[in-house]
Structure 1
C-alpha cells in the first residue's frame, strides 16, 4: 500500500514554514491503519522485543497497537507531570520548540529489549530523549519504527547508528 497517499500535508502548522504531516487521515481509514501496523510488525519481527515504547501522543496510536500485534508490553512516554508514579525526566528540542518527557521509573527492567515506535522521525530530538530515558533504566534499544521519516532533517544521523525503520519518507 502507498501509505503516503493517506497522509495529509498541512502547510504552516503549527507555525509558518512547517509542513505538518497529518496522520489522522491514515488513522481514520481502517484498512490503511491496519496495514501500516502490520507492515511495521513485519519489519521489526526479526528483533527480540520485550516492550514497545511510544512517546506522547501519536506514539501511542502507533506503539500500542504495534505492541499488541507483537504480543509485548507497551510503555507510554509522556510529557512532564502527566504520569502518576515515580518518574524520570529528560528535556528535548522539537522541530519547532522545546519540551520535557517522563517515564515511570519501574516501566522496564535492566536488560529489557525495547523498540521505540512513533508516527514521525524529524530532527531526532524526541527519539534521542526517549532513548536516554530507556537507557537510564538499563534498557537496550533494538530499533526505532516510524510511519514517517523527514529525511531532509537528518534525524537518523543523530542517533548513533540506531536502526531506523520508516514506511514513508519525505
Structure 2
C-alpha cells in the first residue's frame, strides 16, 4: 500500500467532496450531493472514521438508518462498531409486521416504518441519515424507535442545512443532533 499522508483537516476534506447541484430538483434549490464522497474510497473511509471515533465510546446497541442513504452510512458504521443495523424504510417496503409514522412534507405527507421486533425496550440507538433539511424524516424515525421502547441517543448526519430549521426542530423535539458539515442555503 502506498504511503499516504494523513488528512490534516478531515471535515474540510469531506466538505470538498460534496457536490452542489444548482436548481435541482427545482429552481432555487442547491442540492448537496454526497455521491462523490461515497465514490472516493479515501473520502468514504474518512467519513466513516469520523463517525466511528464519535460513537466508539458511546456504544449504541444498534444503528438505525433512514431510507435510503442512511442505509449506506449506517450499515458500515454498525459493522465497524460491531452492533446491529435497523432499516427505517418508506411505507410498503418491509415484509414483516411494522409500526408506521407519518410526517408532513412541504407538499403532502410521507410515511416511514420499521419492523416491530427491530429494537427492544431499553436499546440505545443511534439514528443516522445523510442530510438534515426540515428534520421531518429523522423526527419520524425517532418517534418509531421510542414507540418500541428504544432510547435514541443521537441523530447524526453528514450534512446539516441549518437555514431550513431541521436541526433546531429536532433539538426542540428532544433529539441530540450531530452533523459533520453545515451548508448555508438550501
Question: TM-score category by the smaller chain?
Answer: over 0.9
Distance in 2 (CA, whole Å) between partners of 1:72 and 1:137 is: 18
Corresponding residue of 2:110: 99
Corresponding residue of 1:16: 27
Instruction: Determine if contact 1:50/1:73 at 8 Å carries over to the other structure.
Output: yes
Give the one of 83, 91, 97 matched to 1:80. Answer: 91
Corresponding residue of 2:3: none
Structure with bigger gyration radius: 2
Instruction: Determine if contact 2:162/2:168 at 8 Å carries over to the other structure.
Output: no
Matches within 5 A, 1:90-169: 90-94=101-105, 98-159=109-170, 160-169=173-182
Distance in 1 (CA, whole Å) between partners of 2:157 and 2:84 is: 18
Distance in 1 (CA, whole Å) between partners of 2:88 and 2:125 is: 12
Secondary structure at the residue paired with 1:110? coil
What count of residue pairs does the alignment treat as equivalent?
Answer: 170
Bigger drift between 9-18 and 29-38 goes to 9-18
Bigger drift between 54-63 and 96-105 goes to 96-105
Matches within 5 A, 1:1-80: 1=10, 2-80=13-91
The alpha-carbon distance between structure 1 residues 9 and 93, as it changes in their structure 2 partners (threshold 3 A), is: farther
**Cα root mean square deviation, aligned:** 1.4
Instruction: Determine if contact 1:95/1:122 at 8 Å carries over to the other structure.
Output: no
Where relative contact order (Cα < 8 A, 6+ residues apart) is larger, the structure is 1
TM-aligned CA deviation for residue 42 of structure 1: 0.8
Instruction: Determine if contact 1:43/1:165 at 8 Å carries over to the other structure.
Output: no
Distance in 1 (CA, whole Å) between partners of 2:83 and 2:27 is: 40
Give the TM-score normalised by the residue count of structure 1: 0.95
